[in-house]
Amino acid sequence: MANITQVTFYPNEIQYCGFDPNAKPSISGNDFTCSGGETSGVGYDVVDNRRSAVITLDTNGETERPTFDFDLYAAITNANFLIVDNNNLKTADAKVVLDHYGTGIALTNSWFGALGSALAGYTGTPDVVDADGIALFTFANTTDDNWEVSIDDVSTFDADVTIGELIIGKRFTPATNCELGEPAEFGYTDEGVVLITNKSGKRYALKEHSERRRWNLEFRYVSASDLTEFQRIFRVTRGCPLYVSLDSDSATPTLYRVRIMNAYNARPNAAGAYEVSVYLEEEL
């Protein structure tokens, strides 16, 4: 587990701003196949909160650029990150292009690697993907209700492109980090292990799935402006998964996919600030 040195939240604001059929991304420039076998319509797989359900773009050996077009119900305010999760963009020899209403957005930084492990920063240019798995891109604050994510070839695509999730939103790094030690408790849930007792009284453990990591984060000195951001994070996620880094100040940060398990509850303290609890549980 990464040390908790600087917490940054990455919420899925496409979900929050787009509860309308038009928000589901249309796909142009290439044929595709969804996880359920659909080959026409819209690319639901990249917005369904199931990173394991991937969409496959028929790009192998081609140079045509597929584009996901998000026409949202409301604008994302000050969006500044894009996550492409469960992808094979390195294998496909691909790069990422981001636009809003046809205007290009310069990607300023990027990291690539496996979810739950240290990511590596880009080695060439921020748009060219250096590893399969999860890709995190940052860019200058941009407000819009129309976004286009295109997958471009570096030369010619070397494989069909697969993508599990596309996330756009405004990241939030609290000015004061959570307290370390006991308030920042780390552990595993018991969920996923079932005890079975046979007729002789012997008990066996059946492990149905991996343990989920959890973090109880206590932010003790939250300013009024940061309190507004915490309210936004709780409001935007509404029980849906989000991504979080516990060491976003590192050159090789680690991203986790989590859910917030507690209700929003801000408490004023004697220092004239607020206290906010955030209980995170890993999403498998």
d(CA 130, CA 110): 10
Question: Which pLDDT does position 182 carry in this prediction?
Answer: 47
d(CA 206, CA 52): 23
Which residue's entry shows tokens 């969804």? 34
d(CA 23, CA 230): 25
Question: Which pLDDT does position 183 carry in this prediction?
Answer: 46
Angle at 147 between CA 146 and CA 152, to 5 degrees: 150
Structural tokens at position 157:
């695509």
Backbone φ, ψ for residue 28 (5° rounding): -125, 160
pLDDT exceeds 80 at position 200: no
Place 185 in a pLDDT band, splitting at 50, 70 and 90.
low
d(CA 78, CA 170): 6
Place 82 in a pLDDT band, splitting at 50, 70 and 90.
very high
- 260-283 confidence digits (pLDDT tens): 999 999 999 988 899 999 999 999
Tell me what the mean pLDDT of segment 109-116 comes to: 97
With left for phi above 0 and alpha for psi between -120 and 50, is residue 229 left, alpha or beta?
Answer: alpha
Residue of higher predicted confidence among 204 and 46: 46
- Average pLDDT of the residues of the chain: 88
- 2-25 confidence digits (pLDDT tens): 578 999 999 999 988 875 555 578
Backbone φ, ψ for residue 182 (5° rounding): -60, -40
Q: What percentage of the chain carries pLDDT values higher than 70?
A: 86
**What's the pTM?**
0.89
Tell me what the mean pLDDT of segment 174-199 comes to: 65
Amino acid identity, position 154? V
- 124-160 confidence digits (pLDDT tens): 999 999 999 999 999 999 999 999 999 999 989 999 9
The domains found in the chain, sorted by start residue, are: 10-169 (2.60.120.260), 182-282 (no CATH)
Per DSSP bridges, beta strands 8-10 and 242-245 are antiparallel
Q: What is the CA radius of gyration of the chain?
A: 20
